[in-house]
Amino acid sequence: MIFGIVFAIFRALHALKIPMVINSIYYKFEPYILNASGFALIQLLTYAFYFMPYYCSAINALLFYDQQPSRFQWLPDWTMVHAGAAAQAQFSYLLSSLHNPPLFLDSSWSPIPPEYWFTSVGLNIILAIIPQLFAFRICVGNRDADFY
């Protein structure tokens, strides 16, 4: 989850094109961030503003569950919501960055270069699969409160 927090901040800074990262090599890995349509910007800011608070809350719940288990009854429900949102978000973001827009000519769109394709797609697939595995662990473990 800490990787998710750091990566969400990293990608949000690139989506906002702040001067600190304007010449970053990461734009070669995900050139879709530079797309003029704004979809990538909204998607990455959604990750930053909605997923990061969930990650921080989930880390807090996992660390302090033994002290007050009644305070963290929300964790299985919100974990399922997050897993669904992450799957949908990564599906739409990844496939929109990989498609070839034959009907919409946009000079700002460029495909992922072949040498960075596996890294870029791999990172996005990790961001889609890890929440599913975490939801499986939490919800299966919810049957037995001692599991987590």
pLDDT tens per residue across span 61-73? 989 888 887 788 8
Question: Is the four-CA dihedral 46, 60, 13, 102 of positive or negative sign?
Answer: negative
User: Average pLDDT for residues 61-89, to the nearest whole number?
Assistant: 87
User: Average pLDDT for residues 43-71, to the nearest whole number?
Assistant: 88
Question: Is the four-CA dihedral 40, 106, 30, 116 of positive or negative sign?
Answer: positive
> In the Cβ-directed half-sphere of 108, how many Cα atoms lie within 13 Å?
10
Using pLDDT thresholds of 50, 70 and 90, give the confidence band for residue 144. Answer: low
pLDDT, position 72: 83
> What are 17-40's pLDDT values in tens digits?
888 887 888 888 888 888 877 888
> Residue 16: which residues within 8 A CB-CB, separation 6 or more?
41, 45
Across 6-122, where does the E strand assignment appear? none
Using pLDDT thresholds of 50, 70 and 90, give the confidence band for residue 133. Answer: very high
Classify the phi-psi angles of 17: left when phi > 0, otherwise alpha if psi is within -120 to 50, otherwise beta: left
> Residue 41: which residues within 8 A CB-CB, separation 6 or more?
15, 16, 33
CA distance readout (Å), 41 to 8, 44, 78, 96, 148: 12, 5, 24, 13, 35
pLDDT, position 40: 85
pLDDT, position 135: 92
Whole-structure pTM over 0.85, yes or no? Answer: no
Mean pLDDT of the chain: 84
